[in-house]
Structure 1
């Protein structure tokens, strides 16, 4: 299976290069960076420390999308609409791990998914997706007298908050309770906020050091508390999940899929 990577010189891009090299049945077939990047023309394998791959980094995303089977994207939300359109144009399978997505980005994915198979995941880790499933189950089992708080911590360079994974966990908690997250989320408490709203789902974001990702879902009632936690210590867990998604989505009919589909946990 021919894999292409957009943003191949970034931290996640380089980690993906190494993961592709270790994944049976996969080969790196293309990689892009922005026009004017100093890495254009270089071999991404040499940059990633695995030796030459025979691939040269280019700035023509359309060319790459047309010459690979699956494209992996962990870049930025602003780039997603164009990448989704290119995937649709070439009927190229597309795996999206970009976080910080807003409604217009999901609209672009929905539109493209009429023509190609797409896997979108806030977090590609198996453990996180199991955590999401447990969060939904507990939220469905416990009444709204149990307060739900989601706490996440990431490295100092992360630019969006709360994290995509925290939002996923909030969505699963809301789904379990049968309520819309957007009308029940509480974020960024500061000053005199008043008492906590019954049934609200709270978020807190911490930033510091080189933390790959830590998430805790707290269910708190009078005199007792349940905490579900996941801690990532290496970005490799995300790239392994992305490659698993790529292998799963290759050859699938057009549609917008989630990691729950990839892992057989949908529903």
Structure 2
């Protein structure tokens, strides 16, 4: 191990995002990253209990305490219950964490925010560069509609994901809603935002934002053709947060959008 390398752990390594992150780490040169340990639910270890990284096998553990001294940054794409458990342990042992889990309730969001006062946390519903650029465009276009007092404006968010995705609407769709609502509230505008969710086959993820008014529509779309862009963003977040001491950040902070 080199002195300047960041020791990385991945929680949920047998999941879709865990496997995508591993693929990027195996296929692209990452001189400042060392994948040092892996986590997965005990019930899934019967399927796969070790992972090939570069030319070596890494054993998968189910207990974060067994690897707590072997990593600096944890990337967590699991579920709200598991993530909250992991972030509490990261706080206790002063580890940094990148969270891609979605579906947190309000109480869990408060816990993450409080813990971020002690350690560095990246929390993002979507780690792709494209969707985060889209977030900024949505913010700007909503501001324009407010300034022009577009009274007959209808706003719809349509999102499509694979049929096994649990949360509905998606975390990204909820982030889009929050961005729009923030601008509307700032301008004292009240508008209903409609959600339309599709769960089918193995769709990677598509988000459409439709602004409709009499005689015209503006549609903004982001499509992901695979999960590699999300994986690269998560790795970028882990590198970026490695020199932060505390605070809660998102991909827009990292991309400086």
Same fold (TM over 0.5): yes
Residue 140 of structure 1 deviates from its aligned partner by: 1.0
Aligned to 1:102: 105
1:82 paired with 2:74, answer no
Q: Number of residue pairs matched?
A: 245
CA deviation profile, 1:49-105 (whole Å, cap 9, x unmatched): x65434211122123233211100110111121111011111111000011121122
Aligned to 1:66: 69
Between 1:102-111 and 1:128-137, the stretch displaced more is 102-111
1:56 to 34, 59, 65: 59
Aligned to 2:19: 14
Contact 2:142 2:184 in 1 (8 A): yes
Aligned CA RMSD, in angstroms, stands at 2.0
2:170 to 138, 158, 163: 163
Residue 130 of structure 1 deviates from its aligned partner by: 0.6
In structure 1, how many angstroms separate the alpha carbons of the residues matched to 2:119 and 2:160?
34
In structure 1, how many angstroms separate the alpha carbons of the residues matched to 2:221 and 2:101?
22
In structure 1, how many angstroms separate the alpha carbons of the residues matched to 2:144 and 2:58?
51
In structure 1, how many angstroms separate the alpha carbons of the residues matched to 2:56 and 2:154?
51
1:247 to 224, 228, 239: 239
1:137 paired with 2:137, answer no
Contact 2:184 2:191 in 1 (8 A): no
Contact 2:45 2:60 in 1 (8 A): no
Map of 1:88-237 to 2, 5 A cutoff? 88-143=91-146, 144-145=150-151, 146-178=153-185, 199-237=191-229
Unaligned runs of 5+ in 1: 185-197
TM-score between the two structures when normalised by the length of structure 2: 0.89
Residue 24 of structure 1 deviates from its aligned partner by: 3.3
TM-score between the two structures when normalised by the length of structure 1: 0.86
